[in-house]
Structure 1
Amino acid sequence: MIKVVRIFFWVIVVLTALMQLWQEYQTLQWRKPLNVAVYPVNADGTPVVDTYIASLRAQDFEVIVQFFSREALKYQLPLRRPITLYLGPEIHDIPPAPPAVNGRLLDIVLWSLKFRWFSWGHQPAVGVPVDIKLYLLYHDPDRHRRLLHSTALHKGRIGRVNLFAENSQHATNAVIIGHELLHTLSATDKYDLSNSLPLFPQGYAEPYAQPLYPQSMAEVMAGKVPQTPQTARMAKSLHEAVIGRPTAREIGWSK
């Protein structure tokens, strides 16, 4: 009897994994726009962040939708708006934080499971079926000079995004949200983890430009505009960012 139960358990595990792989494959066929829900979170619990979150409107995120539409047109994607973004209600619990960069594989796996469980229990309705969920953790700029790296999972299509609760940061926040959204679609980072500089050529928006430096645009999965071989500046907005061909291949926009 125990053997039968074990076999049944593993059959369920394998079928679940296969179903998830099939769903991920279907998503990247881009036969329909993907619905993205963004849920604000007060990461510091301060009144400043409360006020900022209360001021958010769906149109504040339209620049992200426009970015995806503009880039999809370059790759002749048969969708005018490949993503539709919905602003969901505020979430009052904080998603579990990922382990340290050099954390053990077991810790990473456990965190992934905890995050996916959190997402299952924290997905308020936004009026449509949701394909991707991003939890926007807003931080009080008076308490933080820098924020920890954001992170996202393509399995489960969820993201945990660290942002500043400040109007002047709207444009750079949009770059970070777009970057993490692409992670949920299987895009990989295009920068050197040791120094955050864009990798050549995949992390360059214009890898064949002559002269090569300074670049004028950022590959969104690198997030920075190369100025010299040793320096780069953060993209000021999504108007300075592109989806390069390597990223387009990863998300199913290019062969």
Structure 2
Amino acid sequence: MWRKFRIIILLLILATVVQEVWLDKADMAWKHNFYVAIYPINADGSDKVGAYLRTLSRDDFEPMAEYFAEEATSYGVGLRRPIEVQLGAVVDELPPEPPGNGSILSTMIWSLKFRFFAWQNSPKVNIRPDIRLYLLYHDPENNRVLGHSTALNKGRIGRVNLFASPAYAKKNLVVTAHELLHTLNATDKYDLQNTLPVYPDGYAEPDKMPLYPQNFAELMGGRIPQNETEADIPKSLKHTVIGEKSAREIGWLR
């Protein structure tokens, strides 16, 4: 009896995996746009961050939707607005933090916890979202450096650490757009040890002569290379592009 029960469970898991793979391939054909729900979170629990969250509107995230529309056009994607952004209600709970040790088992457990969190904390928006991003805002005066943001393509959810200040609004959109692409299968294109973009896929202009300084950052490369050992953080999405490998990963190139 127990053996039959285990077989049923394994078959259900297999069916779920097959369904997710099938749906992912169908989505990556870009016959329909993706609806993204943005859920702000007061990561500090402070009045200052809370006040900042109350100033946020959908218009604050419109430049990100426009950016993806422009980049998609350059790759011949037939959708006028491939990404639509909706601003949801503030979420009071903090999503689980990714594991520090990075072991396969702990990462799998965290992934399941995060997906369960998203299932419990998805305030209703106008259109059911395909992607859910939880934006954890921090007071820049008390947090000089933020923790690493992360996102999952399984479940299409992201946990994004940002600064709660108008001065960081444009840079926040760069980080958010980067994590959004992770939910669509794009991979990082920078060295995890030193954060420098990896040549050539992490460079916006890999064929530029001379190669340095670069004028833009490849979105998944994260920075604008100035020379072999230095790279600048882009000030806004206008200083970034989506490179060919990233475009291929998300289905914009075949």
TM range (shorter): over 0.9
Shifted more, 149-158 versus 15-24: the winner is: 15-24
Structure 1 residue 10, shift from structure 2 partner: 1.2
Q: Distance in 1 between matches of 2:23 and 2:236?
A: 32
Name the residue aligned to 1:6: 6
Give secondary structure in 2 for the equivalent of 1:55. coil
Name the residue aligned to 1:147: 146
Name the residue aligned to 2:102: 103
Structure 1 residue 17, shift from structure 2 partner: 0.8
Residues 199-229 of structure 1: CA deviation (Å, up to 9, x unaligned)? 0000000000011100110000011000001
Name the residue aligned to 1:37: 37
1:245 aligns with 2:244: yes
User: Where does 1:149-164 land on structure 2 (aligned, <5 Å)?
Assistant: 149-164=148-163
Residues 23-77 of structure 1: CA deviation (Å, up to 9, x unaligned)? 1111111111100000000000001100000000000001100110010000000
Structure 1 counterpart of 2:83, one-letter code: I
User: Where does 1:84-233 land on structure 2 (aligned, <5 Å)?
Assistant: 84-100=84-100, 102-233=101-232
Q: Percent identity?
A: 49
Residues 102-127 of structure 1: CA deviation (Å, up to 9, x unaligned)? 42211111100100000010111101
Number of residue-to-residue matches in the alignment: 254
Give secondary structure in 2 for the equivalent of 1:163. strand
Q: Distance in 2 between matches of 1:7 and 1:174?
A: 45
Name the residue aligned to 2:24: 24
Q: Distance in 1 between matches of 2:90 and 2:177?
A: 20
Question: Structure 2 length normalisation: TM-score?
Answer: 0.99
Name the residue aligned to 1:79: 79
Structure 1 counterpart of 2:194, one-letter code: N
Give secondary structure in 1 for the equivalent of 2:54. helix
Give secondary structure in 1 for the equivalent of 2:226. strand
Q: Distance in 2 between matches of 1:49 and 1:124?
A: 20
1:65 aligns with 2:76: no
Name the residue aligned to 1:48: 48
Residues 139-183 of structure 1: CA deviation (Å, up to 9, x unaligned)? 011110010110000000000000000001000000000000000
Structure 2 counterpart of 1:92, one-letter code: D
Give secondary structure in 2 for the equivalent of 1:133. strand
Q: Distance in 2 between matches of 1:245 and 1:3?
A: 48
Structure 1 residue 8, shift from structure 2 partner: 1.3
Task: Give every structure 1 segment of 4 or more consecutive aligned residues whose post-TM-superposition deviation is greater than 6 Å.
Answer: none
Q: Distance in 2 between matches of 1:178 and 1:12?
A: 34
Structure 1's unaligned 5+ residue stretches are: none
Structure 2 counterpart of 1:14, one-letter code: L
Q: Distance in 2 between matches of 1:58 and 1:138?
A: 16
Question: Structure 1 length normalisation: TM-score?
Answer: 0.98
Give the RMSD, CA atoms, in angstroms. Answer: 0.7
